[in-house]
Amino acid sequence: MQPKIQWTFAASLITLSGMAWADEPAKPAAQAPTQTAPAAPQGPETTTTRVREPKAPITWSDPEIEKISKLLIGNWKSTAPIPEGADPKEAVEVAMFIAPLRSPDLTDLLYVESSRVDSPQAPYRQAFYQVYRHKNGLRLRTYEPLRQIGGALVGAWTNPDVFPSVSRRDLVATIDLELTPDGDGYSAKSPYPYPTGRLGAVEMTSEATIQPGKIITADKGFDSKGEVLWGAKGDTKFEFTKFEPDIKTMNRDGVWIIEYKRGDALKSAAMGDQITVHYLGFLESGFRFDSSLDRQPPNPLTFAIAEKQVIPGFIQALLGSNVGTVRRVYIPYEQAYGQYGNMRTRIPPYADLYFDFEVMRLQDGAPVAAPIPAMVGGQDPRAIPGLEQVGPDGKPIPKEQPKSPPANPQPAPSNPPAQPK
């Protein structure tokens, strides 16, 4: 079973101090805060000459591990509400998203994201699976993130190529399940109870059945007397089947956009509009460098969608959204702060960025007066016969009439009168 569901859009991340190393199977040796919008970069041009290296394709250790992993990969939905604790009234429909993820020192790693079906933008659990060979058999190991990496990984199942890799030092192993062939799939069971502290339990066991298009789980937590405290009581099991979530993805000039929710408003964001958003910003490490939700009280940010106002990638992320839209976006450094970074907001050079945002308000930008053409058909408009000048009221401007001379003009004297002496 999963930890208690978080009901807010952006749950707090718990950062553990210190460092621990997961007891995982080794990878085989290689063969030979101030509130600021994502402002546009200032100062030197951020165009860089750094070449982004293409990522190597994701591969598998052997055909059987690949088979099991691909049985797990996909978007899954519980066939019935699952209780999220000891109280069965707290049952909810659960979505589980599983995808391969790169690692510099772990093989065959899978990323697992669990959420309510109606709130995929706010996962309440992030975990990792790894199928590996143990003695003469196979095991499925689960990991939990040890560091703050989770903030950057939300949505990684949509496109692993634009999300950061995960190292063994970022994870802590939690439980193993022994895998046994079972028809077209596999059955899995923990070899013994594992210690846990979740929801008052002192130990837990886990069972699963993995079949094409179906996963069945039965996790149980026990108290010190051996009584089931949470999870599948008796012979109860929870079944997941594949589904297509109502989530849209887009790629705009390298900016990867995940649209979890769209509002009902008719107006969509365009250049020049004034927009108000709540947002969170993350580095690849998961470090949250800025958030409108960290203020007391939370204070959304209003700004114009315009060049020199925000970084180019954030403009791409906002365009087309409407009030109520919830998106997560990946912005490569080429569309962010480039080779200089932004030290004021603790963004280092060459930093890829991840943003979550929700549109709160959207207004048309100030109208811009149309420029007066200097030439019309290659001619000065003032010299075109019959072309009348029009004033601000839309009416023709009357032409000035030449002034007529006075009726009885007085000729100027030719010689001024003599002055008396």
* Domain range list for the chain: 63-242, 248-363
The predicted pLDDT at position 41 comes to: 60
The fold adopted by the segment(s) 63-242 is: Lipocalin (2.40.128)
Mind telling me the catalytic residues? 279, 289-290, 311, 337, 355
* Helix, strand, coil percentages, rounded to 5, for the chain: 10, 35, 55
φ, ψ of residue 126 to 5 degrees: the values are -125, 125
**pLDDT 10s digits, 42-74:** 544 444 468 888 888 999 999 999 999 999 999
The predicted pLDDT at position 84 comes to: 67
CA distances from 365 to 25, 172, 333 (A): 57, 50, 28
Say if 63-242 and 248-363 have the same CATH topology.
Answer: no
The predicted pLDDT at position 394 comes to: 57
pTM of the model: 0.75
The predicted pLDDT at position 34 comes to: 47
CB 341 within 8 Å of CB 351: yes
By the 10 Å C-beta count (0-12 exposed, 13-18 middle, 19+ buried), 97 is classed as: buried
In the predicted model, residues of the chain with pLDDT beneath 50 are 1-34, 43-48, 368, 421
- At position 397, the amino acid (one-letter code) is I
- Whether omega before 297 lies within 30 degrees of 0, making that bond cis, reads yes
The predicted pLDDT at position 50 comes to: 81
The CA-to-CA distance between both ends of the chain, in Å, stands at 125
* DSSP conformation class of 162: G
Pick the CATH number of 248-363 from 3.40.50.720, 3.10.50.40, 3.40.50.300, 3.40.605.10: 3.10.50.40
CB 166 within 8 Å of CB 146: no
The predicted pLDDT at position 343 comes to: 87
**pLDDT 10s digits, 7-42:** 333 332 222 222 223 334 444 444 434 455 666 665
The predicted pLDDT at position 233 comes to: 73
The predicted pLDDT at position 5 comes to: 35
